[in-house]
Amino acid sequence: MKSNMIESFFHIVKDYFNSIQLTTYDKILILCFHLFALFIILSIVLAQLFSYVIIILAIIQFIQNPKREKTPFDIPFLLFIVVRIASVFFSVDIVISLRTLHTEIPYYVLFYAASQQRALMRERLVKSLLWMFVLGAVIGSCYGIMSVLLGQIGRAESLTSGYYTFGSFLSVILTIVIIMGKSKMFDTKRWIWYGLIIVIATGLILTLNRIHWGIMIILLIGIGIIQERKLLITMIFLFGMLLLFSPSVSRRLDQIIHVSENLSDRDILWKGASMVWLNHPILGYGPGTFAEVFPIHNDLKDAKVGGWHNDYIQVSIESGILGLMSFVWLIYTIYSQVFIKLQRMKGNKEKKRILLALVAGMSTIFISSMTGSGFLDMLIRMMFVFLLAMTARLMQTEEDVTDTAHENAMVI
CB atoms within 10 A of CB 122: 16
Q: What is the predicted pLDDT for the residue at 10?
A: 57
Q: What is the predicted pLDDT for the residue at 70?
A: 87
d(CA 84, CA 286): 8
| pTM given for the model | 0.88
Residue 407 reports pLDDT greater than 80: no
Q: What is Dmax (Cα atoms) for the chain?
A: 65
CB atoms within 10 A of CB 7: 11
Q: What is the DSSP letter of 399?
A: G
Q: What is the predicted pLDDT for the residue at 304?
A: 77
Instruction: Name which residue leads in pLDDT, 335 or 210.
Output: 335
295-303 own/partner pairs: CB under 8 Å, 24+ apart: 296/268, 296/271, 296/272, 299/268, 299/272, 300/265, 300/268, 300/269, 301/265, 302/264, 302/265
Task: With CA atoms as reference, report the closest residue to 164 among 368, 378, 360.
Answer: 368
pLDDT band at 263 (very low <50, low <70, confident <90, very high): low
pLDDT band at 177 (very low <50, low <70, confident <90, very high): very high
Residue 134 reports pLDDT greater than 80: yes
pLDDT band at 107 (very low <50, low <70, confident <90, very high): confident
Share of the chain above pLDDT 70, in %: 88
pLDDT digits (tens, 9 = 90+) for 24-82: 777 788 889 999 999 999 999 999 999 999 999 888 888 888 887 889 999 999 999 99
pLDDT band at 159 (very low <50, low <70, confident <90, very high): confident
Instruction: Name which residue leads in pLDDT, 234 or 17.
Output: 234
pLDDT digits (tens, 9 = 90+) for 318-353: 999 999 999 999 999 999 999 999 888 877 788 899
Residue 411 reports pLDDT greater than 60: no
- What number of H helices and E strands is found in the chain? 17, 0
Q: What is the DSSP string of 287-315?
A: TT-HHHH-S-GGG-S-TT--S-S-HHHHH
The three-state secondary structure class of 72 is coil
pLDDT band at 259 (very low <50, low <70, confident <90, very high): low
Task: With CA atoms as reference, report the closest residue to 135 among 7, 294, 319.
Answer: 7
Q: Residue 300: which residues within 8 A CB-CB, separation 6 or more?
A: 265, 268, 269
Q: What is the predicted pLDDT for the residue at 338?
A: 94
pLDDT digits (tens, 9 = 90+) for 355-399: 999 999 999 999 999 988 788 888 999 999 999 999 999 988 655
